[in-house]
Structure 1
Amino acid sequence: MTITGEIDLYTAPGLQSEFARLLQESPTTYVVLDLSKVEFCDSTGMNVLLAALKRLRERGGTMELAAPRPAVRKILQVTGLDSVFTVHDAVPDESLSAEPQG
């Protein structure tokens, strides 16, 4: 699943809805979020990502973050969320061959 733009107070509800739709319509338990096109993410956005991770873990799944830009990576590090999420420098090859998630 690729996210673009900013994840903030104004855009987070749309992302949250998209996660809810994905989890409701699909048996998906493994999600890789390509963050290479995310320019900014505030605490509201991080909370949406955490909530999605929690819902996936309740199903026995997980969510990983891939290719965050330096500003987003810094937020992950400062908040300690880089130890909660698996963070890849690039999108993992195995997720490229999987069925598209978004």
Structure 2
Amino acid sequence: MELNVSTRSTTGYAVMAIAGEIDLYTAPRLQAEFARLLENGPARIVIDMSGVEFCDSTGMNVLLSALKRMRERGGQLEVAAPRPAVRKILQVTGLDSVFTVHDAVPAELLTDQSG
């Protein structure tokens, strides 16, 4: 399964939409996307996971690493719209209390379509 990542950035925040499966094989691509995005320095990143069908521990580790890097800079990394299978992984691992998890991408981030 392929991993598709698209990012829409505006001043101060970015929305990263991920689709496909995040696993041992696709995690390096996601990690590279985070590294590129973090260079631009948004204060808030929301990860739209509505298209993620599967995420294993490798994928969760990539998300945790990105969260740590954001927090070190005083920023926020949030998860939005995880499918039931991904939400269950977040709950079972306790990561739903580590990440801010939204049922959908916050509306204020959808209104500005520039970028």
Q: 2:51 aligns with which of 22, 30, 37?
A: 37
Counterpart residue identity of residue 21, structure 1: R
Q: Show structure 1 runs of 4+ deviating over 2 A.
A: 97-101
Q: Which runs of 5+ in 1 are unaligned?
A: none
Deviations 1:35-80 (A, max 9, x none): 0000000000000000000001111001110000000000000000
Distance in 2 (alpha carbons) for counterparts of 1:16 and 1:100: 25
Q: Which runs of 5+ in 2 are unaligned?
A: 1-15
Q: 1:27 deviation in Å?
A: 2.0
Q: Which residue of 1 aligns with 2:19?
A: 4
RMSD over aligned Cα atoms:
1.5
Distance in 2 (alpha carbons) for counterparts of 1:64 and 1:94: 14
The count of residues paired between Structure 1 and Structure 2 equals 100
Q: 1:81 aligns with which of 88, 95, 108?
A: 95
Q: 2:35 aligns with which of 20, 27, 31?
A: 20
User: Which fold has the larger relative contact order, with Cα–Cα distance below 8 Å and residues 6 or more apart in sequence?
Assistant: 1
Distance in 1 (alpha carbons) for counterparts of 2:96 and 2:54: 16
Q: Which residue of 1 aligns with 2:63?
A: 49
| SS state at 2:54 partner | strand
More strand by proportion, 1 or 2? Answer: 2
More helix by proportion, 1 or 2? Answer: 1
TM-score, normalised with respect to structure 2? 0.83
Indicate how the Cα distance of structure 1 residues 76 and 95 shifts in structure 2: closer, same or farther if over 3 A, else same: same
Distance in 2 (alpha carbons) for counterparts of 1:47 and 1:99: 30
Q: 1:94 deviation in Å?
A: 1.4
